[in-house]
Amino acid sequence: AQKVTQAQTEISVVEKEDVTLDCVYETRDTTYYLFWYKQPPSGELVFLIRRNSFDEQNEISGRYSWNFQKSTSSFNFTITASQVVDSAVYFCALRGTGFQKLVFGTGTRLLVSP
């Protein structure tokens, strides 16, 4: 079975603070894919990043960075110098081998106040 756990239900920060969203996954597949999506108040899921299981290199894109650690089955997401526009629900998702479906976590709501 595949499972994604996002233990943080809601995080509140003040603008310019750094914030890390945690994601822990479970899978028996040796090849799999991990994703992060953003769901702003408008409701549309926005794709942020995909990471393959065989590529443990961390990635940075502007204020966003992702830390993938297979040893702890984690794929954490850090926003540096948060902004009000970052306020949204963030979902981590997993896709295993042989299936196309994404398995999502329950999401973390991020509130960034001015």
- Closest approach of other proteins to the CB of residue 3, in Å: 11
Cα 8 off chain centre by: 11
For other proteins, the binding residue among 93, 96, 110, 112 (CB under 8 A) is 93
Does 97 engage in binding with other proteins (CB under 8 A)? no
The CB density around residue 19, as the number of other CB atoms within 10 Å, is 19
The residue (of 47 and 70) whose beta carbon lies closer to other proteins is 47
- Closest approach of other proteins to the CB of residue 50, in Å: 5
Instruction: Give the Cα separation of 86 and 97 in Å (integer).
Output: 32
- The amino acid occupying position 67 is N
3-state secondary structure of 106: coil
Does 44 engage in binding with other proteins (CB under 8 A)? yes
Site size toward other proteins (CB under 8 A) is 24
Tell me which residue has tokens 């970052």.
86
Cα 57 off chain centre by: 15
- The residues binding other proteins (CB under 8 A) are 4, 33, 35, 37, 42-47, 50, 52, 91, 93, 95, 99-107
